[in-house]
Structure 1
Amino acid sequence: MTTATVNKPAKVAINGVDVPTFVATLGVVGQSPDIAKFTFRANGEWLSGTHSRTSFSGFFGAMSEMEHKDTYSIDGDHPQVLCGGDNGATPVEMLLAGLSACITAGIGNIASIRQVKLHSVETSIEGDINLNGILGLDKTVRNGFSGVRATFKIKGDASDEVLEQIVHQSVARSAVFDVLTNGVPVTVAAIAN
């Protein structure tokens, strides 16, 4: 009887993800878990009416202060029907965008680790809100979404079952999904001059 050795092919970069570096990062974090502790920051300013701008320039991660390659910003506003100037997405739309972006990023990473070539990922996310809550007209109505529905259409070089597993694994690992479904303590300080 002879014993044959089966060599798995090395994982390669795919879907725009540097898989060898990602795998190496997982190994380093596994050896030094404190590297995985991050603090992200957003700095906002009021512009006028319901219009504001939030900027993102730096964060703490991998045990040091880091800077994005550019400072990013998002304008937020309310539409005219809600007495705003419609100069940006509403804050609740930004929340939906965060959920979409987080799960989509996970899909890209997970498919790449599994060496599944993606052709497309399309997202549709809706959130239902009754404004009687935030307008203070009905104290029995919550201020936020009463429900959120997300649909991910995914096409790639794998069976439908594997593609669906990739989406479900991404949802299970999504930080934004976790915050939305499990809540998180939030502290607010007001400083008036």
Structure 2
Amino acid sequence: MNTAVMEKPEKVAINGVDVPTLLATIGAVGAQPELAQFTFRANSKWLAGTHSQARINGFSGAGGDHTRVEDFVVEGDHPSVLCGGDAAPAPVEYLLSALAACITAGIGNIASARQVKLTSVETTVEGDMDMQGILGLNDEVRNGFNNIRASFKIAGDAPSEKLQQIVEQSMARSAVLDVLTNGVKVNVDIAA
């Protein structure tokens, strides 16, 4: 009789995710929950018309302040049909993109932690908006999206049920989806 203990295979990097570091991070935060407190920030300046430019760099978390090698620069504008210069995506398009990026990142991490090799992930996010609200034409119409739809095409070396579970877990852990579905208090300070 073989009494050798079956060892679980060690988790390895897969899908571009350093799984040992991911699992170590989860373990460290589990042991020290104060490390989970993060503050992200973006600083924006008006350029002209509906065109603005935001710089993203620096955040606090994991017990300290962090800066990146260089700023990420993000510009926003409105389409010309909405009196903008069409010099950049509309802010609401960034919101849709942020939702897609957040869930897609989660899919990559979760699949990797489960040692599922992904071959492709495609995400489409669409939002419907009645512009009467934002244009001040009807106070009964909300200013933002009234419906958002997301669809995912995912392929990898696991059965479709497992791939679907990965997407569902990513949605359950998505910070952007949480903000959109549960809302968040926004505090505003105005200096004139």
Q: TM-score range by the shorter chain?
A: over 0.9
User: Partner residue of 1:155?
Assistant: 155
How large is the RMSD of aligned CA atoms in angstroms? 0.9
Q: What is the letter of the counterpart of residue 94 of structure 2?
A: M
Does residue 120 in structure 1 map to residue 120 in structure 2? yes
- Scaled by the length of structure 1, the TM-score of the pair is 0.97
* 1:164-183 matched pairs, under 5 angstroms: 164-183=164-183
Deviation at 1:25, TM superposition (A): 1.0
User: Partner residue of 1:72?
Assistant: 72
* 1:13-52 matched pairs, under 5 angstroms: 13-52=13-52
Report percent identity of matched pairs.
62
Deviation at 1:4, TM superposition (A): 3.6
- Counterpart secondary structure, 2:70: strand
**CA–CA distance in structure 2, aligned partners of residues 186 and 59 of structure 1:** 18
Gaps of 5+ in 1: none
* 1:46-125 matched pairs, under 5 angstroms: 46-125=46-125
**CA–CA distance in structure 2, aligned partners of residues 59 and 83 of structure 1:** 34
Runs of 4+ in 1 over 2 A off after TM superposition: 1-4
- Counterpart secondary structure, 1:133: helix
- Counterpart secondary structure, 1:186: coil
Deviation at 1:28, TM superposition (A): 0.8
Deviation at 1:113, TM superposition (A): 0.0
User: Partner residue of 1:132?
Assistant: 132
Q: What is the letter of the counterpart of residue 168 of structure 1?
A: E
Q: What is the letter of the counterpart of residue 104 of structure 1?
A: T
User: Partner residue of 2:189?
Assistant: 189
- Counterpart secondary structure, 2:132: coil
- Counterpart secondary structure, 1:22: helix
1:104-141 per-position Cα deviation (integer Å, ceiling 9, x unaligned): 00000000000000011101100000010011100110
Q: What is the letter of the counterpart of residue 180 of structure 2?
A: L
- Counterpart secondary structure, 2:163: helix
Q: What is the letter of the counterpart of residue 182 of structure 2?
A: N
Q: What is the letter of the counterpart of residue 46 of structure 2?
A: W
Gaps of 5+ in 2: none
Deviation at 1:170, TM superposition (A): 0.1
